[in-house]
Amino acid sequence: MKNKKKILLIDDDDINNYIAEEWARSNYQHQVDLVIFADAVEALQFLVQCDEEDFPVLILCDLKMPLVDGFEFIENYEQKFLDKHPHTKIVVLSSSIRQDDMAKVKDYSSVADFVSKLSIQENFKQIFEQHLHIHAN
Amino acid sequence: MNKKTGPEKPSDFQKIQEEDRIRQLVAKIRQKEEEIQSLRQQIEKKQVKFTGPSTDEMHEKIDLLMRATQIGIWEWEIQTGVILWDERTKSVFGFSDQEFDGSMKSYQQRIHPADLPRMQEIIQEAVERKTTYQVEHRVIWPDQQIRYVIGHGVVIRNEKGEAVKVIGTCQDFTDLQIKNEKLKRFGKLLESAYSEIYILDAQTLTFLEVNLGGRINLGYTQEELTQKTLLDIIPGYAENTIRQLIQSLYDKTPEEVSFESNFLRKNGSFYHVLAHLQLSADEDRRVVIANVQDITEEVLVKKQLQKNKMRLDLAIQGTSDGIWDWPDMKSNRMWWSPKFYELLGIPEFSVDATMENFQKLIHPEDKETFMEQMLKHVKQDQPYDIEIRLKHQNGHYRWFRSRGQIFRNEKGNPVRMAGAISDIHMRKKAEFQLKNTNLRLQKTNEYLDNFVFTVAHDLRSPVANLKSLVALFKAQVDQYDPIVSRIDLSVERLEQTLRGLVQILDVQKSKQKAIKSVSFSQMLDKLKKEMEETIHETQVVIRSDFKIAHISYFEPYLESMMRNLLSNALKYTRSRDNPVIILSTEKHQEFVTLRVTDNGIGIDLERFKHKIFKPFEKISPNSSGQGVGLHLIKTMVEKNGGKVEVQSKLEEGTTFTVFLKPYSKNEK
């Protein structure tokens, strides 16, 4: 159990989140502990009360969200957690491939990648392999 | 003496008469000789002036006659060399009464040196073997006047036949000579005059004389012309007309009449003439002097000028342009063609054609352009051709094209300007409309582009979800379900199509990106790694021959093109034995060509050529592509000034050639 890597997913799309949960359970159940939030504020609150050793190694974050969007989340995250958790990577998920979004996001040192939203299975495969060296069961 | 005198012997009688006359003459001569002898003695001894024979009645008569005819008498005694002259002879030679010393030297000094040798010869000859002689010669008077003199001489011989003296006369004929020379000169001038001069008999109209100019132009000789009349060379004129013309000269109302006609040459051709006729008298008959000018050329030039003027008038009338002329740029005054007024709706001449009034017609917003362009034309010789609005009489402004050209004097200063205005209102209006329509269309297009782009992108997420859900469902329900499996297939297709669409939209939307030098071999290596699995699986041999190693290009485009070409080639060769793919580059005019050749199944170009580069067209039914690869290549390469070509043979292979237009380093 301890080998499981904690991954945070922040997305306002319920269906997407459901699929992600199911997919992670059926394909990465021994490797990944996926925590999902539909709201960036809740995600930040979770991180605040998160144990040191239980802190996520990877945060997948959608850009377009109501209330607090992806940019704001990253902004807040870096202020509060970047110093303490320099190894945690943020991968931005976006259905938009707007160049200026891409450029803006890459300015943040915590952001490791900018990934176009495809199907969950494709995104997970790509991201997990590249950033966590985890392969599906 | 013989009794037999009568008509039957007239010769005897004549002889007697002749002998008598000779005898009388000899006596007279003797008497004369004596007289002269005595006179000579008188002169020698008493220094008495020689006054010529004066004693008897006969001498008086001769003297009278001589005076009347201005003939001088002289004598020359050969042995003594003494010369005796009367007053008139002296005056012929330019001596006053007492001046002449009677010496041969004084006499010869007055003879024109050019005439002297000839005179001496003639006189010498006469003295040696003749009785009379005649000589014409010139005399130079002390005031250098040249006089023409004719002299006659009689040689008088003694019984032995020796010449003892010469007596004779002399006469000044200078006036006559001058008159003759004048006439001669005049005749020569007439003969060689450029104009043609005909002298005609006023009654018969036959040619009496035609000068050289006339003969040459007509082509007749003088002899041939004497057989012709004026009517023969003017076939176009009725005899009556000509005669009436000449008749009018008799009435002296005009001293000269002129007419224009065509004269017929001997060779049958015509020439245009202007003839002036004058009446004159020659000896006993009336003649007509015709002074004829060949005006063929003038007539031609005149006709040409008339034609040109007519043409110009027609052009000014016929053109839809309004013509203006500013003949003196220092003045305000202009000339506007009727069309000019018409174009502006101004009743002709109700507004003065002036520069000031022209400027008043110009729309206030166009005045600056007008002045600016005018100045540039005058100062820098830039063409004056502008589009301005001019006020129409109806109060509205209309668009006109205004063109003009200045003319400079020898010093290069502008002196005159002329030009035209043409109504381009409708064109201009259409232009504006087109511009507006274009703008609207552009906006619509942009909106549509955005709309499609947004739709495609927004669809991706639900489609991706659908795909994932199907996969989840299949994983949870182990059993094969034909419905789920078809849902899966449909979703798969939907997703593929959408992905293709998004790719096309992304390429179309993307603006020019940073250009950089791209290495073909590095890119190929990258792609080979990407497709490692397939390459390994099919055992395909990939060879490359990049004669051009680098190209300045937009890297993602080049990558996308190469990826599509390579993956196509892999697809085509998948089922083949010993599959080979060759990539090469080389220079071709301004392009760098990227060629990808395979020995795959080939394409039936006759069937598919028209659809091969169209989006979502798949030409092999079992291929897994989205049918957008080739369309993308075409779109990308054409967007960057290149092109793509395909060559293929079924069962032999396919070659795609992409003509890439490299970007220069500074270009963006």
The pLDDT of residue B54 is 47
Asked if residue B597 has pLDDT above 70, the reply is yes
pLDDT recorded at residue A109: 85
pLDDT single digits (tens) B415-448: 999 999 999 999 999 999 999 999 999 888 888 8
Please give the residue of chain A at the shortest CA–CA distance from B453: A96
Determine the residue among A62, A98, A118 to mutate to test chain B binding: the one whose Cβ has the most chain B Cβ atoms within 10 Å.
A118
In a domain, B7, yes or no: no
Does residue B471 sit at the A interface (CB-CB below 8 Å)?
Answer: yes
Residue B19 lies in a domain: no
- Do residues B613 and B484 share a domain? no
Token pair of B380 as six digits:
């820098």
- For residues B408, B410, B415, B420, the Cα torsion angle rounded to the nearest 10 degrees is -30
Sort out which chain A residues have CB atoms less than 8 A from B496's CB and list them: none
Query: Quick one: tokens of B537?
Result: 């699986």
Q: Do A15 and B469 touch (CB under 8 A)?
A: yes
**Are B411 and B468 members of one domain?**
no
Mean pLDDT of B578-601: 93
pLDDT of residue B453: 76
pLDDT category of residue B359 using cuts at 50, 70 and 90: very high
* CB of A58 closer than 8 Å to CB of B420: no
Query: Of B52, B59, B61, whose CA–CA distance to B87 is shortest?
Result: B52
Coil, strand or helix: which one is B285? strand
Residue A123: closest CA among chain B residues belongs to which residue? B464
Give the pLDDT band of residue B49 (cuts 50, 70, 90).
very low
Residues B96 and B116 in one domain: yes
What is the number of CB-based contacts under 8 A between chain A and chain B? 43
pLDDT for position B2: 47
**Residue B128 pLDDT:** 87
Q: What is the pLDDT of residue B4?
A: 46
Task: Convert the pLDDT of each residue in B241-253 to its tens digit.
Answer: 888 888 888 877 6
Q: Is B619 inside any structural domain?
A: yes
**Torsion angles phi and psi, residue A63, rounded to 5:** -85, -45
- Site from A13, A16, A19, A96 to mutate, B interface, most B CB atoms within 10 angstroms: A19
* B363 — pLDDT class (breaks 50, 70, 90): very high
B379 CA to chain A: closest CA distance, Å?
52
Task: Choose the mutation target among B465, B467, B494, B495 for the interface with A, i.e. most A CBs under 10 Å.
Answer: B465
Domain co-membership, B529 together with B651: yes
For range B365-378, the mean pLDDT: 93
Contact B461 A117 (CB under 8 A): yes
Place of tokens 């697809």: B571
Q: Report the DSSP beta bridge partners of residue A6.
A: A33
Which helix (DSSP H) or strand (DSSP E) does residue B663 occupy? none
Q: Which residues of B touch A9 (CB under 8 A)?
A: none
Closest Cα partner for B504 from B609, B614, B593, B594?
B614
| Residue B618: pLDDT over 70 | no
Among residues B398, B423, B448, the one where a domain terminates is B423
Nearest of B654, B645, B614, B643 to residue B631 by alpha carbon: B614
For residue A107, the model assigns a pLDDT of 84
pLDDT, position B660: 93
The amino acid at residue B339 is: K
* CATH at residue B372: 3.30.450.20
Per-residue pLDDT, B3? 46
The answer on B288 and B342 residing in a single domain is no
How does pLDDT run along chain A (137 residues), one tens digit per residue?
A: 457 889 999 998 888 899 899 888 888 888 899 999 999 999 999 999 988 888 999 999 998 888 888 889 999 999 999 888 888 999 998 876 666 777 788 888 889 888 877 778 888 888 988 888 888 77
CA B113 to chain centre: 60
pLDDT at B10: 55
- Same structural domain, B439 and B546: no
Q: Are B60 and B137 part of one and the same domain?
A: yes
Q: Residue B390 — left, alpha, or beta (φ > 0 → left; ψ -120 to 50 → alpha)?
A: beta
Could you give the CA distance from residue B333 to residue B648 in angstroms, rounded to a whole number? Answer: 76
Instruction: Give pLDDT, residue B576.
Output: 84
B67: Cβ contacts below 8 Å, ≥ 6 apart: B88
Task: Tell me which of B468, B470, B478 to substitute to probe the interface with A (most A C-beta atoms closer than 10 Å).
Answer: B468
Interface touch B464/A118, C-beta < 8 Å: yes
Number of domains in chain B: 5
- Pairing of β B541-546 and β B580-588: parallel
Mean pLDDT on B226-236:
86
Which pLDDT belongs to residue B365?
94
* Interface residues of chain A, partner chain B, Cβ below 8 Å: 13, 15-16, 19, 22-23, 26, 95-97, 117-122
Amino acid B666 reads N
Tens-digit pLDDT profile for residues B645-657: 999 988 889 999 9
Residue B308 Cα distances to A124, B303, B315, angstroms: 90, 8, 10
Q: Is residue B50 a contact partner of residue B60, using CB atoms and an 8 Å limit?
A: no
- Most confidently predicted of B520-529, B550-559, B612-621: B520-529
- Measured distance between the N- and C-terminal CA atoms of chain A, rounded to whole angstroms: 16
Mean pLDDT of chain B: 84
Among residues of chain B, what percentage have pLDDT more than 70?
Answer: 92
The verdict on residue B313 lying in a domain is no
Cβ of B68 under 8 Å from any chain A Cβ?
no
Cα B141 from Cα B121, distance rounded (Å) = 23
Give the model's pLDDT for residue B260: 85
Please check whether residue B268 is in contact with residue B239, taking contact to mean a CB–CB distance below 8 angstroms.
no
B550 or B575, which is more confident?
A: B550
pLDDT value at residue A99: 67
- Measured between beta carbons, the chain B residues lying within 8 angstroms of A19 are 465, 468-469, 472
State residue A24 phi and psi, 5-degree precision: -65, -40
> What is the helix (H) or strand (E) element at residue B112, kind and residue range?
none
| B5: pLDDT strictly greater than 50 | no
Verify whether the Cβ–Cβ distance A117 to B469 is below 8 Å: no
pLDDT in tens, B127-169: 888 888 999 899 998 888 889 999 999 998 888 888 888 999 9
Residue B506 touches partner A, C-beta closer than 8 Å: yes
Give the contacts of B86 (CB within 8 A, at least 6 positions apart). B50, B51, B52, B66, B72, B73, B74
Q: Is the pLDDT confidence value at B46 over 60?
A: no
**Helix A14-27 vs helix A120-127: crossing angle, to nearest 10:** 60
**Which chain B residues touch A120 with a CB distance below 8 Å?**
464-465, 468
Backbone dihedral region for residue B589 (phi beyond 0: left; psi -120 to 50: alpha; all else: beta): left
pLDDT-derived band of residue B398, with 50, 70 and 90 as boundaries? very high
- Looking at the fold, whether B525 and B641 belong to one and the same domain comes out as yes
Mean per-residue pLDDT, B589-607: 90
Q: Is pLDDT at B666 greater than 70 in this prediction? A: no
Is B390 among the domain residues? Answer: yes
B331-352 pLDDT, tens digit per residue, is: 999 999 989 999 999 998 788 9
Put simply, whether B458 touches A (Cβ < 8 Å) is yes
For Cα atoms B132, B136, B137, give the angle at the middle one, nearest 5 degrees. Answer: 130
In this predicted structure, what is the pLDDT of residue B667?
Answer: 46
Residue B23 lies in a domain: no
Distance CA B432, CA B402 (A): 19
Chain B residue with Cα closest to A17: B465
Chain B residues whose CB is inside 8 A of the A125 CB are none
Closest to A82 measured CA to CA, from A49, A109, A45, A48:
A109
CA distance B409 to B401: 27
Residue in A13, A23, A95 closest to B460 by CB: A95
CATH number of B572's domain: 3.30.565.10
Q: Is B171 found in the same domain as B124? A: yes
User: Residue A91 to residues B63, B468, B623: CA-CA distances in angstroms?
Assistant: 160, 20, 34
Same domain, B543 and B624: yes
Residues from chain B contacting residue A22 (CB–CB below 8 Å): 472
Q: Nearest CA to A124 among A52, A31, A14?
A: A31
Same domain for B454 and B548? no
Distance, in Å, from the CA atom of B554 to the CA atom of B640, rounded to the nearest integer, reads 9
Q: Which of B68-77, B308-317, B343-352, B516-525 has the lowest mean pLDDT?
A: B308-317
Asked if residue B150 belongs to a domain, the reply is yes
Of B422, B367, B433, which Cα lies nearest the Cα of B398?
B422
Instruction: Please tell me the predicted confidence (pLDDT) of residue B48.
Output: 43
Distance from CA of B468 to the nearest CA of A (A): 6
Chain B closest CA to A85's CA: distance in Å?
31
Confidence band, pLDDT 50/70/90 cuts, at residue B595: very high
Distance of CA A50 to the CA centre of its chain: 15
Name which of B457, B472, B475 is nearest A96 (Cβ-Cβ): B457
B457 to A121: CB separation less than 8 angstroms, yes or no: no
Whole-number pLDDT of residue B341: 93
Residue B242's alpha-carbon distances to B229, B250, B294, B377, in angstroms, are 11, 13, 19, 61
DSSP for residue B327: S
Contact residues on chain B for A97, CB-CB shorter than 8 A: 457, 506
DSSP H helices in B386-510: 425-476, 482-509
Give every strand in the sheet of B207-210, ordered side by side.
Answer: B207-210, B196-201, B285-294, B270-282, B256-264
Residues in chain A: 137
Residues of chain A positioned with their CB less than 8 A from the CB of B465? 13, 15-16, 19, 119-120
Q: CB–CB of A16 and B458 under 8 A?
A: no
Domains annotated for chain A, with CATH where assigned, are 5-132 (3.40.50.2300)
Residue B249, H or E segment: helix B239-250
Chain A neighbors of B467, CB-CB under 8 A: 119, 121
Q: Is A95 exposed, middle or buried (0-12, 13-18, 19+ CB in 10 A)?
A: middle
438-457 in B: which are within 8 Å (CB) of A? 457
Of A60, A66, A45, the C-alpha closest to A94 is A60
Would you give the DSSP letter of residue B362? B
Q: How far is Cα A75 from Cα A82, in angstroms, rounded to an integer?
A: 10
CA-wise closest residue to B241 among B254, B253, B262, B259: B259
- Quick check: is B42 in a domain? no
Residue of A nearest to B505 (CA): A97
User: Pseudo-torsion of CA B41, B43, B47, B51, nearest 10°?
Assistant: 140
B32-46, B100-114, B186-200, B628-642: range with lowest mean pLDDT: B32-46
B286 and B336 housed in the same domain: no
The verdict on B469 touching A (C-beta cutoff 8 Å) is yes
Helix (H, G, I), strand (E, B) or coil at B307: helix
CA distance A90 to chain B (A): 20
In one letter, which amino acid is B536? H
CB B390 within 8 Å of CB B363: yes
Domain of residue B327, residue span? 319-423
Structure tokens at B234: 């003017």
User: Residues of A with CB below 8 A from B464's CB?
Assistant: 117-120, 122
Measured between its terminal Cα atoms, the distance across chain B in Å is 155
